Amino acid sequence: MPFEDDVCPVGDELLGELYRKSKLGLAGLVATITPSTRAMLALFCYRRSHLHEIGLAIAASCSEEDLMMSGGRLGAALFARSREEGLPAVAAAPHHSTRRTIRLATPLGLAEFGGGARPEPLEAAGALPD
How does pLDDT run along the chain (130 residues), one tens digit per residue?
A: 455 567 888 888 888 888 787 666 788 888 888 999 999 999 999 998 888 888 998 999 999 999 999 999 999 999 999 998 655 444 433 444 445 556 666 555 545 545 555 555 555 555 555 5
Residue 68 near residue 79, CB atoms below 8 Å: yes
Q: Residue 66's pLDDT is what?
A: 95
Q: Residue 63's pLDDT is what?
A: 94
Residue 34 near residue 41, CB atoms below 8 Å: no
Closest to 63 (Cα-Cα) out of 91, 30, 90, 38: 38
Please state the pTM of the whole predicted model.
Answer: 0.60
- Give the C-alpha separation, 5 to 56, whole Å: 20
Q: Residue 88's pLDDT is what?
A: 47
Burial of 36 (0-12, 13-18, 19+ CB in 10 A): middle
